[in-house]
Structure 1
């Protein structure tokens, strides 16, 4: 892992892997999450001639926090990371809480971002016609209820969760997620994927809950960009998702102009990682 200096003086944790000269694939992790590479995604990217770039959003791991950030700020951080690495045009994928940040790149960096995909990505909290928490597991309903109540309530809630995630192992991660995990997702939470997710959680809260807190607050604020006018976008969503409900994917598919919708019966939130080759096939084919 490397640390990249940004023009404003902040530093972010960054991981890069893949073929030299490959088109950069910027992967935006979930919330909470960190700059941890999932080997099957790295390998799938290499098969498509893509080089993975992932960074820990401000406040996660050793990345310097940026209190008050909005989702659109991720596009500026992405551009700064790529500039520091000497990289130009790119494609991007955002999973879960990373979904809005991939959409920010698709819109704010349109022209440089050639294609984007969201996997179980969150829709705007203010989305018209969307009951945002309907279908979520109880833990997420409580978490975002705390976020709406304000930063002190959210901080208190997340600090209690920090103790669990800060020491979670792959064997424990399914139980730690409780009713957020549907049956199809529980089947995904084994072996290397469970270890990857647990490691990402542990590293995410190394320095506390600042990144997680600021993500949650950013999700319920205005995102700072318009979903219209961006590069080609694909929306992947499962109907068994209890972390980010199916309705979020349907809303995004209907409201991101030209979005390619992959609304999948029988899939959940985590099981989408079993489709990485299909996701990248579609991403590369859909480039502007």
Structure 2
């Protein structure tokens, strides 16, 4: 496994962050990204166990914090389910939502799903219902496939587009390296895991910190067009022990706006409530 010491929020969602008290944050690349070995059997549970293994290799201690953004959110849900005893705290920033989680009311998830742009609807439907066809769908040229993977401007808010423009002006070396093992083992596998059938329903999760010795946070941008706010609100109501933060003008990439990474970390590590944006 590869890890990087870095400042959280500086790169895309192929990484999640492990943080131990009194140490620098390190990045955990999911299987198939960068130099991490591909795992054809990758799922939510294997990801959580990989994180636990890496934490032990790095000697982070018995407990550590995890932070996952966007697609990295499913890794945090896995940690909450499979290794809650190892967590000091957790933060999910615009975490990916599976429209087929059983606890969602059918009408709520259906209406939210219909708000996605059509190419994204098709991609997620295939990933969930006909996973064996995902590679063919993602590589065909006749119809647009994943709007997110193609950076379709329709799915980004005004503030997201400003962030994207700044990112496009930066060197692409790290992003290219992250996908050096091919998009199937990275992006496609993410879709198969995140939108496939899970062994558990996150909305049945139990509080890993019953004595308030730690905390779990969800951060959601109101203007996010990839992860819809109404579903995140429903999750937060089902799990009242999670501290839910909604950013009024935030899009899917609000964490990359100056100052937000620090606010998220302070809330997670020291319990400091963020000031208004």
User: For this structure pair, what is the TM-score category when the shorter chain's length is used for normalisation?
Assistant: 0.7 to 0.9
**Does structure 2 conserve the Cα–Cα contact (< 8 Å) formed by 1:120 and 1:244?**
yes
Quote how far apart the aligned CAs of 1:241 are: 0.8
Tell me, yes or no, if structure 1 residue 68 matches structure 2 residue 51.
no
Distance 2:264 2:114 in 1: 26
1: CA distance, partners of 2:39 / 2:235: 27
Structure 2 CA distance, aligned partners of 1:68 and 1:258?
32
1:108 and 2:88 matched: no
| TM-score, normalisation: structure 2 | 0.76
Per the TM alignment, residue 28 of structure 1 is displaced from its structure 2 partner at its CA by 10
Q: Separation in 1 of the partners of 2:135 and 2:159?
A: 31
Relative to structure 1, the CA distance from residue 220 to residue 181 in structure 2 (aligned partners, 3 Å threshold; closer, same or farther) is same
Residues 23-62 of structure 1 correspond to what in structure 2 (within 5 A)?
30=13, 33=14, 50-62=23-35
User: 1:248 maps to which residue?
Assistant: 231
SS at match of 1:62: coil
Match of 2:4 in 1: 15
Q: TM-score, normalised by structure 1?
A: 0.73
Moved more, 105-114 or 86-95: 105-114
**1:186 partnered with 2:191:** no
Name the counterpart of 1:238. 221
2:270 maps to 1:285: yes
> Paired residue for 1:117?
91
Instruction: Tell me what 1:156 maps to.
Output: 136
Shift of 1:34: 5.1
Question: Could you tell me which residue of structure 1 aligns to residue 207 of structure 2?
Answer: 229
User: Contact 1:147/1:217 (CA < 8 Å) preserved in 2?
Assistant: yes
> Quick one: which of 49, 69, 76 aligns to 1:95?
69
Structure 1 vs Structure 2 CA RMSD? 3.4
Task: Name the structure 1 match of 2:187.
Answer: 212
Secondary structure in 2 matching 1:64: coil
Aligned counterparts of 2:100 and 2:175: Cα–Cα separation in 1 = 27
Q: Return the offset for 1:195.
A: 5.7
Give, in whole Å, the separation in 2 of the partners of 1:235 and 1:262: 6
Whether the aligned pair in 2 keeps the contact of 1:94 and 1:121 (CA below 8 Å) is yes
Unpaired segments ≥5 residues, structure 1: 1-11, 19-24, 162-172
Q: Aligned partners of 1:27 and 1:79: how far apart in 2?
A: 23
Partner Cα distance (1:154, 1:196) in 2: 30
For 2:85, what is the secondary structure of its paired residue? Answer: coil
Moved more, 96-105 or 140-149: 140-149
Deviation at 1:86, TM superposition (A): 1.8
Q: How far off its partner does 1:222 sit?
A: 3.6
Distance 2:70 2:170 in 1: 15
Note if 1:202 corresponds to 2:202. no
Instruction: Give the deviation of 1:249 after TM superposition.
Output: 1.8
